[in-house]
Chain A
C-alpha cells in the first residue's frame, strides 16, 4: 500500500505512467466510469480549499466511486481535539483512500503512518502539494508533447512559492530542461532549493529580475502571485508589483508556442485580457488537475 506525500516519492517512470494514464482517461472516459465502483474517497480538509477538494471529489465521482469527508476543521473531530493519527485510523475503517489538506506541515505523513489505506497529500501548509505538481506536468506534457528539452520560466514569488519549488524539482529530472528564474531580489529561490534541487541536479538555470527580458526564450511561463505581505516595505511592493503582472504588451516578444501556466487562484498577476490568448493554459490546467487525480487514485488503489 502506497501513499503520495511528496512529489519526489514518485520516480520519473511513475510520473510518466501517471501522465500516460491521465491521457488515456481523457481519450476514453467511458472506460473509466466504473473503475472505482463501491470505493470511497475521504476528503479530510482541515482548512478550506474548495478548488482542490472539488477536483479530488470530481475525480472520484468520474471513476464511479463516492466521496465522504469534511471541508474545514471546525466541522470535524479535530475541533474536539482528536489527533491526526487517530482520525487516520478511524477513517481507514470507512474509506478506501484519503486526500488530506492540513495547515500543519507533515500532517499527511502522520496520517499515512497510521492509516491502513493510501493517503494523498492535498497540501500541507507551505510544504508540499504533489497533485498540483502532477497537474502542472500533465499540462506541460499535453501542451508541448514532451517534458524534456525546453526552457521553463518561473516568475513571481520564487522564495515562498512551494508549487515552483516542486515544479523545479520534478522538471529538473528531465533532460535538456533549462530554467529562467524571474523574480525581484527579495523573492529569489531560497538557498536550500538552490543547493538541493538546482545545483544537485546540475540543471542549467539563470536568474533575472526582468520578465520582459526573459520572455523571448521561454517555452513555458509559470506565473505565481507576488503577495504584498512578502515585502518588507510598501514602497518596494509598489515599485515591483507591476513588473510581475503579465499583460498583453509583455507578450509581444514571446514565442507563438509559449504556454502560460498559473497554479490559481490568481488575483491580478495575469491580466484577464490574456485569458483569450491561445497561449493561456491556466484554465486547462484546472481540468488537467481532475484527470491526473483520477490517474493517481487508480494507481494508489491498484485498479487496472
Chain B
C-alpha cells in the first residue's frame, strides 16, 4: 500500500503521538488480512506531532474506544479514493471490555467472565473509573 493512496478504507488521524500502537492493539488490527499502516510522529499543525493509522478496508470501528483514547481523533472514511465521511468520536460515558482494572484488590482480578467496565466520572478532565472499585484508569 502506498501511504496516502487508499481506495476503500479508513484513515484514523490526529491520534495523540505515541498512542498509535496501543490503538492498533485495542482495535484488533493485527487480526486483519488487509494492509494496515501505522505512521508515528507525523508533523501536526495543532499539536506538533501525531500518529496516523491507515486501514485499507472499511471495517467497523469501536468509536467509544477511540473517544476514550482521545475525542480529538479524526476518522476519515475513504471510498473510491475520495473521503466520503469525516467523524470525531464522542467521549463515551462508559467503556466495556477495553481496558482492565489495575487494582489487585478489585473483584475483576478474580471473578471469571466479568465485564470490565469503566465509567466517565469527570468529563472535563476525562477521568474514567472502574465501575466496581472506583480505581482511576491510567
Q: Is the CB of B105 within 8 A of A125?
A: yes
Q: Is the CB of B131 within 8 A of A85?
A: no
Residue B112 at the chain A interface, CB threshold 8 Å:
yes
Residue A110 at the chain B interface, CB threshold 8 Å:
yes
Residue B134 at the chain A interface, CB threshold 8 Å:
yes
A107 interface neighbour in B107, B113, B136, Cβ under 8 Å = B107
Residue B62 at the chain A interface, CB threshold 8 Å:
no
- Which residues does B use to contact A, with CB under 8 Å? 103, 105-114, 130-136
Using CB atoms, name the residue of chain A closest to B134. Answer: A127
For A125, the chain B residues whose CB sits under 8 A away are: 105
Residue A246 at the chain B interface, CB threshold 8 Å:
no
Residue A102 at the chain B interface, CB threshold 8 Å:
yes
Residue A126 at the chain B interface, CB threshold 8 Å:
yes
Interface flags for A82-107 (1: CB within 8 Å of B; 0: not) read 01110000000000000000111111
CA distance A259 to B114 in the complex (A): 44
For B132, the chain A residues whose CB sits under 8 A away are: 105-107, 109-110
Q: Is the CB of A105 within 8 A of B136?
A: no
For B134, the chain A residues whose CB sits under 8 A away are: 105, 127
Q: Is the CB of B131 within 8 A of A104?
A: no
Q: Is the CB of A109 within 8 A of B131?
A: yes
Q: Is the CB of A126 within 8 A of B105?
A: yes
CA distance A109 to B107 in the complex (A): 9
CA distance A126 to B131 in the complex (A): 15
Max count, chain A CB within 10 A of own CB: residue among B113, B131, B133, B134: B133
Q: Is the CB of B130 within 8 A of A106?
A: yes
For A103, the chain B residues whose CB sits under 8 A away are: 105
Having A105-B105, A105-B132, one finds 8 other A-B pairs with CB under 8 Å, namely A83-B111, A104-B107, A104-B109, A104-B111, A105-B103, A105-B133, A106-B106, A106-B132
Main secondary structure of the interface of A (DSSP, over half): mixed
Q: Is the CB of A127 within 8 A of B133?
A: yes
CA distance A102 to B130 in the complex (A): 17
Q: Is the CB of A104 within 8 A of B136?
A: no
For A192, the chain B residues whose CB sits under 8 A away are: 136
B132 CB → nearest A CB, Å: 3
Q: Is the CB of A104 within 8 A of B105?
A: yes
Using CB atoms, name the residue of chain B closest to A107. Answer: B107
Interface flags for A103-130 (1: CB within 8 Å of B; 0: not) read 1111101100000000000001111000
A162 CB → nearest B CB, Å: 11
CA distance A124 to B106 in the complex (A): 9
Which residues from 225 to 274 on chain A have a C-beta closer than 8 Å to any C-beta of chain B? Answer: none
Q: Is the CB of B136 within 8 A of A106?
A: no
**Top 3 A-B pairs ranked by shortest CB distance?**
A106-B132, A105-B133, A104-B107
Using CB atoms, name the residue of chain A closest to B127. Answer: A196
CA distance A262 to B135 in the complex (A): 27
CA distance A110 to B101 in the complex (A): 14
For A126, the chain B residues whose CB sits under 8 A away are: 105
Max count, chain A CB within 10 A of own CB: residue among B105, B108, B132, B134: B132
For A104, the chain B residues whose CB sits under 8 A away are: 105-107, 109-111
Q: Is the CB of B114 within 8 A of A110?
A: yes
B127 CB → nearest A CB, Å: 9
